[in-house]
Amino acid sequence: MNDVLPRRAHLITLEGGEGAGKSTALATVRDCLQAAGCTLVVSREPGGTPLAEQLRAMVLHSSRQDDADERLHPSAELLMVFAARAQHVAEVINPALQRGDWVLCDRFTDSSFAYQGGGRGLPVDWIADLERRVVGFVPGLTLWLDVPVALGRSRVQGRGGVPDAIEREHDAFFERVHAGFAARVAADPQRFVRIDASVPLEQMVAEVTRAVNAYLAQVRR
């Protein structure tokens, strides 16, 4: 699916469903890169610039129960996450990569394929077109933190806080998101490393460390 888009070797992304352990794994990846002497920028999506963070808030806090008169339409959600991504790529990711820095991002375009494509059922070719026009490249390495939906949900609930508009979705939605990620991995197996995120934390951290160090060895060969 991504065979025409160039890879950016210095861009590493973390993907997965709710509570998979992306933010936890991100700290491990950051430590590996820093230990290897890489200069890096750490960011997240949707977000990563002031404007993109405003779009994130609009997407995640839409249709709250106390303000439920207008639901965000799926295609509006897709365009808003890509509007945020356009800003993020232009303002943060491209300048960092052009400087020769590394960029580590908590979620990226694969999440749009999984959530807006798989979850919301929007056409994959539309998302692929936006990816080509707005982003124009794929990461060099993407870690897919793979966790069963119910386990991810229980971790998020254990963390407390008010669920956002996505977190309030039903399990069927998250099963489609999971299938969306699995389809992305199947379509581009060389870019992805699947991390079993259902194992105990130390084991997951060890797997992530191994994957990142293997990738660094390959890129710097």
Ligand X SMILES: Nc1ncnc2c1ncn2[C@@H]1O[C@H](COP(=O)(O)OP(=O)(O)OP(=O)(O)O)[C@@H](O)[C@H]1O
Q: How far is the CB of 107 from Mg ion (least distance, A)?
A: 8
Pick the piece of the chain touching ligand X (CB under 6 A) from 72-80, 84-92, 151-159, 177-185: 151-159
* Residue nearer to ligand X on the CB measure, 90 or 151: 151
Q: How far is the CB of 166 from ligand X (least distance, A)?
A: 9
Provide the mask over 153-182, with x wherever binding to ligand X is found by CB under 6 A and - wherever it is not.
--xx--x-----------------------
CA–CA dist 56, 18 (Å, integer)? 16
Which residue stretch of 21-29, 58-66, 175-183, 212-220 sits at the interface with ligand X (rule: CB under 6 A)? 21-29
Among positions 6, 23, 136, 150, the unique one binding Mg ion when judged by CB under 5 A: 23
Q: Give the one entry of ligand X, Mg ion, none that residue 197 binds, where binding means its C-beta sits below a cut-off of 5 to 8 angstroms depending on kind.
A: ligand X
DSSP sequence for 72-119: PPHHHHHHHHHHHHHHHIIIIIHHHHHHT-EEEEES-HHHIIIIIIII
Residue 16 CB: number of other CB atoms within 10 A? 26
- Do residues 10 and 102 make contact, with C-beta atoms less than 8 angstroms apart? yes
In the complex, least distance from residue 23 CB atom to Mg ion, rounded to whole angstroms: 3
Rounded distance, CA 122 to CA 115, Å? 9
